[in-house]
Structure 1
Amino acid sequence: MLSAFSNAALSATRSRAPMTVRSISSSAIASKDFVQEIYIKELKAYKAPAKSADAHKGQVRDFHAPKAPQAPSVSTSDISSELDAYSKSEPDVAEASASSSSSGSLLESHEDVNAWLEEAKKPVVKEHH
């Protein structure tokens, strides 16, 4: 019996079709881009047109250094006369009146604040409709 079983197993393995193995490649097939090759070839072959020596004329202005500044003319008599006029002048009256009026407005605003605070302390009366 053992021989019959081994013969059947041997014949079964021979009757099988040969196994085909298919491999999967992860690298892409390199395809040439003819348009890109022609474009690169034309870029390499390009020669820029030569510019003339006077091409910059009209585009750039000539540089002229500015004139050196001159010191102002001041005489000692002018300075002394201005200092004398300043020392003889009286202090501005507008500053004194402004300071007194500002202190008065401070008192008024202080009174207004106190009145507002007293008004705020009063209880709120709710009227029912």
Structure 2
Amino acid sequence: MSTVLRQASTAARAFSRSAAFSTSAAARKDFVQDLYIKELKGYKAPPPAKDAHVGVVKQYSVPPTPKPPVVPADLASELSAYDATEPVDGTPKAAAGTPESLTTGADTFLAFLEADEPKVEHHH
């Protein structure tokens, strides 16, 4: 009988400890939560400063109006001089000894790729 009594006493103590622990945790939780909510409700945000933008935002200024292009006085002679000039080819001349495949441009290579392949003749 004493073992049953000891077990009951141990169980009662364990139950009372767990109940006390759980209630104290709940009480602490409510206390912290209440304190947090009280502080949140009492918080007042400071009003924004009037000159808070100074140094951060640049002043806007209207760009100057562009000036219209000036037409040359003797436009006809300048156009005839332009027409008389020889067009300059922008590609460099092939140096002696360099293979032609290195000096041809991209257009030649693309034309080669787009060209039809020669048909292979089958010998019977």
State the TM-score, normalizing by the size of structure 1. Answer: 0.41
> Which has the higher Rg, Structure 1 or Structure 2?
1
- Higher RCO by CA contacts (8 Å cutoff, separation 6 or greater): 2
